[in-house]
Structure 1
Amino acid sequence: MQHIIVTGGAGFIGSNFVHYVINHHPDVKVTVLDKLTYAGNRANLAGLPENRCELIVGDIADAELVDKIVKDADAVVHYAAESHNDNSLKDPYPFVHTNLIGTYTLIEACRKYDVRFHHVSTDEVYGDLPLREDLPGHGEGEGEKFTDKTPYNPSSPYSSTKAGSDLLVKAWVRSFGLKATLSNCSNNYGPYQHIEKFIPRQITNILSGIKPKLYGQGKNVRDWIHTEDHSSAVWTILTKGKIGETYLIGADGEEDNKTVIELILELMGQPKDAYEHVNDRAGHDLRYAIDASKLRDELGWTPQFTDFRAGLEDTISWYRENQEWWQGQKEEVEANYAKNGQ
C-alpha cells in the first residue's frame, strides 16, 4: 500500500496510528481526514513530514469530499468517531451523524472505487461482563472474555452507534463485496489522549493541583492497551487480515478503576488515597475483557507494551512534559464534569 486515508487521524488513537505508519513504513503516504472537532488537534500531527502526511479538514459524512479523496487511495482506515460516553448521554445526535452516517458515506465510496477498508471499533459494542468477584468459583480462572462471536449488547448511545456502524460494514461485505476487515479494541492509553478521558484526566488533575476523581466505588474493570500496540495490530490486520473477518485487539491488561487511580497517584508521588469519589456514570459498564487469540494465532501479532506500570509511567511523563498541549482545555473539561457532580 502506497497511499492510505486515515479518518480521525488528528484524534488520539488515529494520530498515534499515523505516527506509527510514518515511522515504520517509509514508503506509505498518509492522508488524514479529520473534522477537527474538540477531540481533534493539529498539534497531534506536528513534526510529521509534509510530503508523507497531508491533513484535509472535513466531515466523513460529506459525500462529495469523501468521493474526491477515496478514489485515489489504496485503503481507508476508519478511526473517526464520536467516542465519549458521557457526551453521548447528554446529546446523542453527533454520535448518530458521525458513527452511522459517516461510516455509511465512507463504505459507499470504497465500494464505488473498490478500495480496501478497515473499520476500527470498540469492545463496548458487546456490552459488559460480570466482575470476577461475581463469578462462580471466583479465583479459579480469569472469567469470560469477549470474542468475535460475542453477541452485540451495547448500553449507551456511543456504543450502540458504533455497533450499528460495525453492522453496516459487515452487511456491505456480504451484500456488495466490500473489501473490509473490522477490529474491536479494548481501552487505549498513551500520548495525545484528550483530557476528558479517565487516565489523562487524573494525571492532569494532579499536575493542576486538583484531586483525582473516581466514579462510584471504582470497581469497573477495563482491559488497558497501549495505543502503540493498537496501531501495530491495526496495521497487521490491514495487511494480513482476511476480508470480512473481525479481530479483537487486547493485551491482557485488566485493571479496575480504583487500582488505576491509586497507581497514578503512587507514580506521581502522592498518597494512594488522595482522590475523591464522584457520581457514577449512568449505565456504567462493569467489566471489559478481550480474547485476542484469533489475532495472535492467525496473524502472528503480539503486544510489546505489556507492563502497564511502565506504560503508565511513560504516559505520565508525556503529559508532564507537554503541558502546553492540554492546559488550555483543562478548565472547561472540569467545568463540564462538575455540572454532573463528577
Structure 2
Amino acid sequence: MTYSAVILGASGYTGAELVRLIATHPSLRITGLSADRKAGMAMGTVFPHLRHLDLPELRKIGDLSFEGVDIVFCALPHATSQAVIKELPAGLKIVDLSADFRLRDAAEYERWYGKPHGAPELQKEAVYGLTEFYRDKIAGARLVAGTGCNAATGQYALVPLIRDGVVGLDDIVIDLKTGVSGAGRSLKEGLLHAELSEGAHAYSAGGAHRHLGEFDQEFSRLAGRDVRVQFTPHLIPANRGILGTIYVSGEAEAVHGALEAAYAGERFIEVLPFGELPSTRHVRGSNFCHLGVVGDRVPGRATVVAALDNLTKGSSGQALQNANLMLGIEEEAGLMLAPVFP
C-alpha cells in the first residue's frame, strides 16, 4: 500500500531532509509541498540536490488539497505551526517538527516561548515524539510533537540512567556542540561564513535555552521529582551534527550497562563498547545515534557522549520514524541509509 504525504514548510532544511528520506521510502509518496516566499518554484530549483526527483511544485498552504492525504509533516516555524495545524482537516495524521506541541503544560510553553499557546486543545492531544520511549503512544496518535534536536541528544544519553536510578539527579551537566543547520535556513548575520567559521561560541547559557523545557518535563516525570540539569550549547563551524558530552555522578560501568540494556533491541541507537567515544562524522546524514561511556579519574563519576545528526535523527528522520509507526509501516522504512563518510 502507498500512503500520501504532504510536507508543509518544504523550503527549509528539515523540509528538504524529509524529501530526501521519503524519496526512497517504499510506502510513502509526496503529493504536496508548501512554501511561502518560494511558492510557485520547483523543489529542484530551491534545492538542486533534489533535482533528480519528480516532485510537486511548491505552493502556498491555502492552495494545497488535503483530500486523500494520509499524513502531514509540518516543518514550519514555532507559533506558525500551531496556527496552521488547528485549521487542518479533523482526523488528519500530523507530525509536527516545531516546538509548538512539545510541552504538555500550556504555562510552560508560554514561559519558554514568550506567548500563550494558540491551540491548547491540540496541545493536550499531542504525543511527545521521542520514538524509542513513546513508541506505543505514537502508534495510536493523531498528532505527534517532534522533539528538539538538542533535547533528543541529551535524552538518549540520560533517560535510561534517570529511569534506572544509576546517576545522581542534582549534578547533571550537559555540554553540547551543534552544527549551524540547527539554526534554520533564514539569513542571520551571525551565521555568515566570515562570522562563524574558525571559531566556536556558547549561547543561551545560564538556563536560557528553550530545550531546557523538554529536559525539565521529561526528566522530572521519570524521577518523580524536579530535575534541573545544567545545560550549555555551543555553535561550531559544521553544517550538521550534535555532540553532547554529559557529566554524571555514578559508577561508569553501571552507566554503560544501563544504556546497553535500554537500547539492546533498538535499531537506531548504538551503544559503543565501554571506553569508546562517538563522533558526529560517523552518524552524518543518518538516523543513527551513537552513545559512548568512559569513567573518570575520580571514582563515582562518568562521562557519556552522544552523537547524532540534528537534521535526521534529531528532526526529520525522527519525524519519519514516528510517521511509520502512525501508519502501521515498518519502523525502519526509508531510514536505513548509511551515514555519509568522510
TM-score normalised to structure 1 length = 0.42
Structure with more of its chain in strand, by fraction: 2
